[in-house]
Structures are given as C-alpha cells and as structure tokens.
Amino acid sequence: MNTIEDNNKKLDEMRDRLIASIPSMVELDRGILSPERRYLHDPEFHALTDAFVSYFNHEVFTESDLRDAILLAKETYLKNKYRDYEG
C-alpha cells in the first residue's frame, strides 16, 4: 500500500541520489566541481532544493521533474554564492 509517507521517502531517496550525481552548468563553466562539493552540506542549498521540488511537485512527479528542480536549485545556489566573482 502506497502512503504519502512512502511517496515522500521515495522522493527523498531519489532527490539525494540525483543531487549527488548532477553537476550544474555553473560548476562546469567555472571549473569548481570538486570531490567534496561543499554545497551538498549547506542548509541554504537544501532549502533551495526543497523550494524548487515543492514548486515543481504535482500529481505525476517523475525523476525528470526532480532532476529539473535540482538543477534549478543548483544553478540558483551557485550563482548566488559566486556572484561576487563575476566581472
């Protein structure tokens, strides 16, 4: 039986897996992709991810939707963090 809790757990597992596996364009462009990926442990990044996941969430929520939400969160987070370095 699928409950809301089961669905949320699956979504959390999928999100965690995708967060770790998707380099963002900002990371690639700036060459800042690092093994430790410090932002993965930053509460600000997780808050952005949660916000975008909530924004994209709808009745039929696919892995592709989650990937889009995470990519948008990564881009937003990294642009905010590195905006001071832009010329």
Q: What is the pLDDT of residue 87?
A: 46
Residue 81 CB contacts under 8 Å (≥ 6 apart), including other chains: 39
Rounded distance between C-alpha atoms, residue 39 and residue 70, angstroms:
13
pTM summary value: 0.44
| pLDDT tens digits for range 18-68 | 666 666 555 555 555 454 566 666 777 777 777 776 766 655 566 777 777
**Do 56 and 65 touch, CB atoms closer than 8 A?**
yes
